[in-house]
Amino acid sequence: MTKQFEPVIVGFLCNWCSYRAADLAGTARIHYAPNMRPIRVMCSGRVDPQFVLKALREGADGVMIAGCHPGECHYVNGNIKALRRFILLKAMLRQLGVEEERVQLVWASASEGIILAEKVDKMTKAVRALGPLNWNEKVIGGGNGHKVVVAAPVAEEV
């Protein structure tokens, strides 16, 4: 039996909603995929695109940014800033060949433990289907990009 691929998903959870949702999921003993590594940030608007890129570069297979629903941000509009960044980042990641499922923005309020759990389950499944990202080794070629990657000939994609 081959071992199932377990993706590593870095989760940036906002302090006021999504981290509490994860907390609630825990105290409510909801079973969900253990693949997301939560990092608490004060607001989804605090998530610098550099954090996302660094996670992908350093070995994460996916990144989840989770915040309060629009209109419910503790800082009024931090999550709307996060959404603007996310939409632009998504456009850029598409150009860089990163599949859309790997970087997701979700909304989960403090009472939505079950919703956050479902979203983590769903994302884990989607990223598992994509397979490992392994950016440093597979895309750059290991060793901080010092090693040269020689590509196998590929058919022209149109």
Partner 1 sequence: MSEKPKLAMYWGAACGGCEISVLNIHEHILTVDEIFDIAFFPCIADFKVHHVESYDDGYIDVCLFNGAIRNSENEEMAHLLRKKSKVLVAFGSCAYEGCIPALSNLTSKEATFNTVYGENASLDNPDGIVPLTEVDVAEGTLTLPEFYHTVKSLDQVVDVDYYLPGCPPESHQIWAVLQVVVAGLLEGAPLPPAGSVVGVTNVAVCEECDRVKNEKNIEKFYRPYQIIPDPEQCLLEQGIVCMGLATNGGCGALCPQVGMGCRGCYGPLPGVEDQGAKMLSAVASVIGAGEVGMEEAELEEKIQAVVDTIADPAGTFYRFSMAHSMLQRAKVNGSNGKGEA
Applying CB under 8 A, the residues found at the interface with partner 1 are 48-50, 52-54, 56-57, 69-71, 73, 76-77, 80-81, 83-85, 87-89, 91-92, 95-99, 107, 129-135, 138-141, 144-146, 148-154, 156-157
CB of 13 to partner 1, least distance (A): 19
CB of 53 to partner 1, least distance (A): 4
Contact between 8 and 60 (Cβ < 8 Å):
yes
Name the β-bridge partners of 85. none
CB of 86 to partner 1, least distance (A): 8
Nearer to partner 1 (CB atom), residue 20 or residue 85: 85
Measured CA to CA in angstroms, residue 142 lies from 10, 151, 152 at distances of 21, 14, 17
Residue 85's contacts (CB-CB under 8 Å, 6 or more residues apart) are 47, 49
